[in-house]
């Protein structure tokens, strides 16, 4: 398996994974991603901006997806708490991470995190930030296991409360 930048032709497969993730979150009574976000237009923008990644199986199947960027996240400027690394420095951001349902629990999210950590190390960027829904215990458990620190609460552009985490990459 490999991780690579997404291509426009990957978008239908990415959307299948995201739609599955939306259904999975709903089944856990988590209202994250239940308001039409993320949508096809957002994913296409991620691809065109060079910020969408996919994990591809040996059989050329899209297994997982994530948005990853080193562009500043506007909603991270205001936090009820404190970031570890000053917000004015360049940092990495992960959004819209999802695993195809038949590949959950195979370590693909960890695989993607490690790849993004390596990319940041290569660019001498010392921090990766991520936020998640307060009821998304699965993602919170993973990011804590990977050494992320809880930093506080941020609010999305549509005013949804999110728990913010950060890891210093070394």
Q: Alpha helix (H) ranges present in 123-163?
A: 137-145
Neighbours of 10 (CB within 10 A): 20
For residue 63, the domain's CATH number is 3.40.630.30
Residue 2's pLDDT is 95
Neighbours of 47 (CB within 10 A): 21
Give 86's pLDDT tier (boundaries 50, 70, 90). Answer: confident
Residue 132's pLDDT is 95
Residue 170's pLDDT is 79
Q: Which residue do the tokens 């993607």 mark?
A: 112
Average pLDDT over residues 131-139: 94
Average pLDDT over residues 113-134: 96
- Residues in CB range of 143: below 8 A, 6 or more apart: 113, 130, 132, 165, 167
Residue 22 clears pLDDT 90, i.e. is over it = yes
Question: Smallest Cα–Cα separation from 21: which of 101, 137, 103, 114?
Answer: 101
Give 112's pLDDT tier (boundaries 50, 70, 90). Answer: very high
Kindly report, residue by residue over 142-169, the tens digit of the pLDDT: 999 999 999 999 998 888 899 999 999 9
Domain count, the chain: 1
Residue 130's pLDDT is 97
**Predicted TM-score (pTM) of this structure:** 0.93
Please state the length of the chain: 170
| C-beta separation of 166 from 86 below 8 A | no
Residue 160's pLDDT is 86
Q: Which residue do the tokens 């497969």 mark?
A: 13
Boundaries of domain holding 143: 2-168
């Amino acid at each position: 398996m490999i991780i690579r930048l997404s291509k426009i032709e990957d978008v239908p497969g990415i959307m299948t994974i995201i739609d599955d993730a939306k259904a999975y979150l709903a089944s856990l009574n988590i209202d994250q991603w239940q308001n039409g976000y993320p949508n096809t237009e957002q994913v296409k923008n991620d691809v065109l901006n060079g910020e969408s990644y996919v994990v591809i199986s040996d059989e050329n199947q899209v297994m997982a997806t994530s948005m990853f960027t080193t562009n500043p996240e506007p909603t991270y400027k205001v936090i009820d708490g404190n970031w570890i690394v000053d917000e004015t420095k360049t940092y990495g951001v992960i959004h819209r991470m999802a695993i195809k349902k038949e590949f959950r629990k195979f370590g693909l999210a960890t695989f993607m995190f490690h790849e993004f950590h390596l990319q940041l190390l290569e660019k001498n960027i010392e921090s990766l930030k991520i936020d998640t829904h307060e009821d998304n215990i699965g993602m919170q458990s993973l990011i804590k296991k990977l050494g992320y620190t809880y930093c506080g609460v941020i609010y999305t552009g549509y005013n949804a409360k999110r728990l913010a985490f950060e890891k210093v990459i070394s």
